[in-house]
Structure 1
C-alpha cells in the first residue's frame, strides 16, 4: 500500500517534469501536432510512457512490488506500441502500419490459455480498437488524459479485486503519469499526448482489462470491457456514422468528434472535457460494480443505451467547418470581373 502511494507520486512528478523538459526539444525537432493554429509539441506522450515504465520497472527490480509475468509482458508490449506511435509522430505513416503493429503486440499479451482461441482473437481486435480509439480521442485539450485516468482507476480496481497486485500498481502508475501530463495539457494545452502516448494508454488499459477478465464468463466479460471504455467506443461510432452518412473518407481528419459537437452547443473546451469525463466515469463505475458482482450484468445495457442516445443526439449537430488556413485567414472573394474572366477562359 505504501509503495503504491509512493509509486503513484513518483510517476506524477516525473511525468510533469519530463513533459515540461522535453517540450523545447520536441519543438526544435519538429515533433509537433500541426492540426492547430500553432504547433503543439508532443512531448507529453513520451513523458507518460517514460514515467510509467520507469516507476514500474524500478518497483519490480527492487522486489517491492513484483509485476509478475502478465504485467511485465504487458508493459514490454505497451512500450513497443509507444515506440510505434513515436514513429507515427515523427513521420507520416499509413494507418495500416499502426493497426498491424498494435495487433501484433496485442496478440503477444492475450492469455489464450484462459480465453480460448476464438475469444482471444476477439480480444486482440478489441485491444486494437481501444488503442486507436484513444488516439482519436486526443482531439480536445485534456480529454484523452482525463478519460485515461478514470479508466485506469477502474481497471486497477478490477485488478486489485482479482489480487493482481503488480497489474494494479502498473495501472496506478499510469493514472498518476497521466495526471502529471494533464498539468500541461489542460486548456490551453502546452504539450500534447500524440500517437505515442495515446496508443500506449489505450493499449495498456485494454490489455489490462482483458487480463483481469480472462477465464470468466464471456458475456459478462464483454459487457465489463465495453463499460470500461464506453466513451471511446461512442466517439469512434459517432465519427464513423457521421463520415459515412456524409460520404467522406474515414481516415480524413475532421472536426466531428464528441468534443467538437459539444463545443457547437456552446460548451467551452474545459466544459466539454468535464462533461465527457463524467460520462466516462459513469461507464467505468458500472463496469467495476458488475465485475465485483455488486450489480447484475444487465447494468451494462444501461451504459450501452446511454452511449447510443449520446451518439444519436450529437449526430444531429452539424460539426463546424474546417478553416481555410491554419492562420485563420479567410481568402477574399473574387470580384465579379475576375469571375467573368474565369468563366470565359473555362469556356
Structure 2
C-alpha cells in the first residue's frame, strides 16, 4: 500500500519534470502537432513512457512490487509500441506501419493458452483497435490523458479484484504518470501526448484489461472490455462512420472526432474534456461493477445501447460550426445644405 502511493507520487512528479525538460528540444527538432493553428510540442509521450517504465522496473528489480508472470513482457511490448510511435512523431510514419507494429507487439502478450488461437487473434485485433482509438483521442487538449487516467484506475480495480498486485501497481503508476502529463496538457496545452504516448497508453490498458479477464467466458469478457474502453471506442466508431459516409480516406486526419463536434456545438475545450471524462467514468464504473459481480452482466447492454445512441446523435452534428454572418455597418450619409 505504502509503496503504491510512493510509486504513484514518483511517477507523477517524474513525468511532470520530464515533460517540462523535453518541451524545448521537441520544439527545436520540429516534433510538434498543430492544433487550431497552434504548434504543440510532443514530448509528453516520452515522459509518460519513461516514467512508467522506470518506476515499474524499479519496483520489480528491488522486489518490493514484483510485476508477476507476463507483466514484464507486457511492459516491454508497450515500450516497443511507444518507440515506434515516437519514430512516427518525428518522421511522420504512415499509420499502416503503426498498425502492423502494434499488432506484432499485441501478438507477444496475448495468453494463447487460455484464449486459444481464434480467441487470441480476436484479442490481438482488439488491442490494436484500442491503441489506435487512444491515438485518435489525442486530438484535443486533455482528452486522451483524462480518459486514460479514468480507464487505468478502472482496469487497476479489476486487477486488484483478481489479486494481480503487480498489474494493479503498474496501472496505478500509469494513471499517475498521465496525471503528471495533464499538468502540462490541460487547455491551453503546452505539450502533447503524440503517437508514442497515446499508443503506449491504449496498448497497456487494453492488454492489462485482457489479462484480468483471462479465464472468463468470451461473451461476458467482450462486454466488460467494451465497457472499460467505451469512450475511446465510440470516438473511433464515429470517425469511421463519418468518413465512410462522406467518402473521405479513413487514415486522413480531420476535425470529425467527438471533441471537435462538441466544441462546434459551443462547449469549451475544458468542457469537452469534462464531458468525455464523465462519460468514461460512467462506462468504466459499469465495467468494474460487472467484473466484480456487484451488478449483472446485462448492464453492459445498457452501456452499448447508450454508446450507439450517442454516436448516432453526435454523427448528425456538423463538423463545421454555424456560419457567422458578417455584420455590415451602415454609415450615415452627411447631407449638405445648400446656401
Say whether the fold is shared (TM-score over 0.5): yes
**Partner of 1:234 in structure 2?**
234
- The CA deviation at 1:93 is 1.4
**Partner of 1:140 in structure 2?**
140
**In 2, distance between residues paired with 1:254 and 1:297?**
36
In the alignment, structure 2 segments of 5+ residues that lack a partner are: 322-339
Counterparts of 1:108-257 in structure 2, within 5 Å, are 108-257=108-257
- The CA deviation at 1:266 is 0.8
Whether the aligned pair in 1 keeps the contact of 2:35 and 2:140 (CA below 8 Å) is no
- The CA deviation at 1:34 is 3.1
- The CA deviation at 1:69 is 2.2
Q: Deviations over 1:323-347 (max 9, x none)?
A: xxxxxxxxxxxxxxxxxxxxxxxxx
**Partner of 2:104 in structure 1?**
104
**In 2, distance between residues paired with 1:264 and 1:33?**
20
Counterparts of 1:318-329 in structure 2, within 5 Å, are 318-320=318-320
**In 2, distance between residues paired with 1:69 and 1:177?**
23
Structure 1: which 4+ aligned runs deviate by more than 3 Å?
A: none
**Partner of 2:87 in structure 1?**
87
The answer on 1:57 being equivalent to 2:57 is yes
**Partner of 2:330 in structure 1?**
none
SS of aligned partner of 1:40:
strand
**In 2, distance between residues paired with 1:240 and 1:211?**
28
SS of aligned partner of 2:163:
coil
- The CA deviation at 1:247 is 1.1
In the alignment, structure 1 segments of 5+ residues that lack a partner are: 322-347
**In 1, distance between residues paired with 2:316 and 2:36?**
25
Task: Give TM-score, length-normalised by structure 1.
Answer: 0.91
Q: Deviations over 1:251-295 (max 9, x none)?
A: 111101001111121100000000010001111000000000111
**In 2, distance between residues paired with 1:149 and 1:248?**
32
- The CA deviation at 1:38 is 2.6
Whether the aligned pair in 1 keeps the contact of 2:224 and 2:300 (CA below 8 Å) is yes
Q: Deviations over 1:37-76 (max 9, x none)?
A: 1321101000000000000000111110001122111000
**In 1, distance between residues paired with 2:250 and 2:168?**
36
